[in-house]
């Protein structure tokens, strides 16, 4: 089946003045600044009147001063991906990229994401919830999942505060690391297999990417620093399995009320089964990031991808005529 990824707007003036929101005070600040710099350069290359804004307070000031017509949100993590920004911009009647309040809030909370998926029989790994301050039985929580496990904060991203635990003696250190971040902790069954990610753009899943780090794990260093991580796209050679993964990713995003664009992270176990991990509603857009890599495979270069994401703030389902060429995306990942 052929899907059409089409740019409908050709005149950058339609967007007005665009604030590219980045940075902020959170744990993903540096990555967000890198992503924002890339987006800003891309929009400028296409003639968009865009400017950088560091953090939500500065954005609100710019909106009050009448300097913002719409927002390209690339503020990763807290504030930018948890519904706070989305709620503020809805109240201020300013269009913005990405999903709305509900989608952002659900996706940022890994526990609630899993609960929604479970209710719809979408596959996600067995887990337990642990509250470090409540004196709960940690051994019982670990036992209910069974080693090996992944211990992580339920509301952080970019591999922040995450540990893989194979031996019970390593549990306390993992809990201590994850507990540096507020909120409950997620103790999740470790899925051994391939790490995959699928970008979803306007409801259509792009080709998957299989991530092959040089080290044992795809951690923060492998994501944003190392140059020896391999990214294989499409991530699965089997056409039927690749199509099933893309369908699962699109369903997972839709289940959390995520539209516009996002990235769905998935594990594939040794038996070929898929397990949903999380949805990122303002994914990285750095030189190492995955959404631009998947888009490039189907003929959407970085500036065009930023344009496509931004034009969703104007279109909202309206089909317009454009001289911009269409890019065909087929179910096998070729363009």
Residues designated catalytic: 28, 158, 224, 263, 265, 278, 280, 284
Question: Cα separation of 47 and 29, whole Å?
Answer: 27
Question: Cα separation of 269 and 252, whole Å?
Answer: 18
Q: Which DSSP state fits 183?
A: S
**Which pair of structure tokens corresponds to residue 178?**
């994850």
Whether the CB-CB separation of 248 and 177 falls below 8 Å is answered with no
Q: Which DSSP state fits 96?
A: B
Question: Cα separation of 304 and 46, whole Å?
Answer: 8
Peptide bond into 289 cis (omega under 30): no
Helix, strand, coil share of the chain (percent; to 5) = 35, 25, 40
Element (H, E) at 70: strand 70-73
Whether the CB-CB separation of 51 and 20 falls below 8 Å is answered with yes
């Amino acid at each position: 089946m052929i899907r059409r990824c089409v740019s409908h707007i050709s005149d950058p003036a339609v967007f007005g003045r665009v604030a590219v929101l980045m940075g902020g005070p959170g744990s993903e600040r540096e990555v967000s600044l890198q992503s924002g710099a890339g987006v800003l350069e891309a929009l400028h290359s296409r003639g968009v009147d865009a400017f950088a804004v560091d953090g939500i307070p500065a954005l609100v000031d710019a909106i009050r001063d009448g300097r913002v017509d719409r927002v390209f949100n690339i503020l990763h993590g807290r504030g930018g991906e948890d519904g706070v920004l989305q709620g503020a911009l809805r109240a201020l009647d300013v269009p913005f990229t990405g999903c709305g309040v509900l989608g952002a809030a659900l996706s940022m909370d890994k526990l609630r994401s899993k609960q929604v998926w479970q209710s719809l029989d979408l596959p996600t790994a067995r887990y337990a919830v642990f509250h470090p301050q409540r004196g709960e039985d940690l051994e019982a929580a670990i036992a209910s999942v069974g080693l090996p496990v992944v211990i992580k904060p339920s509301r952080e991203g970019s591999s922040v505060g995450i540990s893989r635990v194979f031996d019970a003696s390593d549990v306390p250190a993992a809990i201590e690391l994850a507990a540096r971040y507020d909120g409950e902790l997620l103790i999740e069954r470790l899925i051994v297999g391939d790490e995959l990610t699928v970008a979803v753009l306007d409801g259509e899943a792009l080709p998957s990417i299989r991530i092959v780090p040089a080290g044992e794990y795809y951690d923060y260093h492998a994501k944003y620093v190392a140059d020896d991580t391999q990214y294989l796209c499409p991530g699965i050679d089997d056409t039927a399995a690749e199509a099933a993964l893309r369908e699962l990713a699109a369903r997972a995003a839709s289940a959390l009320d995520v539209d516009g664009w996002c990235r769905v992270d998935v594990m594939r176990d040794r038996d070929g089964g898929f397990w949903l991990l999380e949805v990122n509603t303002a994914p990285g857009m750095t030189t190492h990031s995955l959404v631009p890599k998947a888009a490039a495979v189907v003929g959407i270069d970085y500036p065009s991808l930023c344009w496509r994401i931004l034009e969703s703030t104007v279109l909202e389902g309206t089909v317009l005529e454009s001289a911009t060429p269409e890019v065909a995306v087929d179910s096998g990942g070729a363009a």
